[in-house]
A = this chain, B = another copy of it.
């Protein structure tokens, strides 16, 4: 493929993203100083269309890029345009003010939405990838405990535990010591094994209670792989004519489904630094007309993902830069809080 043809493709992508209207040969020839005439551009366009990178909404209209065209643009043509120094400072300051993990996530998701003018999604640090920092037992009534788990990523999870026998204060201290001895510092991924042996280690008279505690721990904290996700910027779906082809309905619905959002963020297994999924490349049916840009974040290793969702006609260089920068800053913050 010709160098000039690539330039024509770039021009079409850039203009279409900017104006949101099919771009014609004349416009390309004029505005992008390619040094050739419109007729030549037309020939190149015919080639690009043949090759599947661009298409015409109808005969006698300009061209718009296809998913394949955007893909090529992202892979070979788009130079990431870094955030301005002012933006960097603002991001840094805004995130540094967060007072706890919830706040970090909330601020992050808003920031992403605002920077990219798109819908932003941020996954809370995955429990599967966290370790236990501390377990706390608070006795509410003699037969009722609250179990609070704090992880090294800052998450705090709590559950009620109904215990079969009345507990003294010492009993509670004992249990607390036990679970902490066993679990502190351990990755939650290893926890089920450890929890299984928990009841056996308790004083005989606490066995029943310990086993109930173990059940709750296992059932609600570990087995429940429920991932928490925050969303912001839904209003951006109505930007300009960004209306996704059909109605907003399915998109808005999908944005309230954790399962869908997790799919969108791309299966926790991917460790790629930054992923761009364009159109059909998305697994989720409702997002076949959308592009999703995601990045992993975490202190050292990846503990969660964040990303933005927008129309395929998005400002790729800008969006990619924003997602990458924010993910990086959030990672730094988590690192500090460790």
Contact = CB atoms under 8 A, between A and B. Distances in A.
A220 B100 CA distance: 10
Interface stretch (A14-22, A194-202, A247-255, A296-304): A247-255
Nearest to A239: B249
A83 interface: no
B238 A100 contact: no
Q: How many copies does the complex hold?
A: 2
Contacts of A146: 134, 150, 156
B160 A148 contact: no
Contact-size category for A: 20 to 34
Nearest to A146: B150
A140 interface: yes
B160 A156 contact: no
A235 B252 contact: yes
16 contacts: A100-B158, A134-B138, A134-B140, A134-B146, A136-B138, A136-B148, A146-B150, A148-B150, A148-B156, A150-B158, A234-B234, A234-B252, A234-B256, A235-B252, A237-B252, A238-B252
Interface of A: 99-100, 133-134, 136, 138, 140, 146, 148, 150, 156, 158-160, 220, 232-235, 237-238, 247-250, 252-253, 255-256, 337
